[in-house]
Structure formats: structure tokens, C-alpha cells
Amino acid sequence: MKIKEFLGSTVLDKNAYEVGRVGDIDFDPETGAIGTITLTLQKNIFSKDEIEINFEDIATIGAYVILNKEIPKEEDKAETVEATIEVEDDE
């Protein structure tokens, strides 16, 4: 696979949920080893987030890039924050 084919690839987490696309690749120019990849996470139509993933967190590269870890969805983060606020309010 060529680098230009890798950029823009769909990324799935270990549960096969689509988490984003490969936005950038950081590699060592001397060895050619990939250090990190930047995932562009689509939040909504007008905003995006980016996170870096270590190359070791990639399980397979093919038609999709599949990670061997789970990336929490934005809704999950919001629910966790709300639950924490509710617990603090009860105290």
C-alpha cells in the first residue's frame, strides 16, 4: 500500500465502529518507521477533532485501518460528564 492510499483511509476501532479517517502520518525519515498517525474524527458537519494514535495501536491495515483499542464516542463522553455532575449534585 502506498502512503497516498493510506491517507484518508477509514479507521475502525476494535469494536468495528467507524471513528474517523487517517489525516496525517508521522514517520522517522531515517528508518521509514511510522511513529504515529493522526485520526480526523468527524464530530458533526461543521467541526472535527484530531487525535494521535501510536502505530502499535493499529491491528491491521487493509481496506480499513483497524485499531486494537476502543475510541470513545463524543456521546459517551457527554454521558460520563452528565453522570459525574449528577453524582456531585447528590452529595
Q: What is the pLDDT of residues 68-83, one digit of tens each?
A: 988 876 555 444 444 4
Please report the pLDDT score of residue 47 as a whole number.
Answer: 59
Q: What is the pTM of this model?
A: 0.69
The whole-angstrom separation of Cα 64 and Cα 77 is 25
What b-and-e string marks burial along 1-30, b requiring 16 or more CB atoms within 10 Å of the CB?
eeeeeeeebebbbeeeeebbbbbeeeeeee
CA–CA dist 81, 52 (Å, integer): 23
pLDDT at residue 5 in the model: 80
pLDDT score, position 4: 80
The confidence score (pLDDT) of residue 28 equals 87
> CB of 50 within 8 A of CB of 37?
no
| Domain annotation for the chain: domains and CATH numbers | 3-90 (2.30.30.240)
As given in the structure block, the three cell numbers for residue 38 are 493522526
Spans of the chain, pLDDT less than 50: 77-84, 87, 89
Query: Which grid coordinates belong to 72?
Result: 470513545
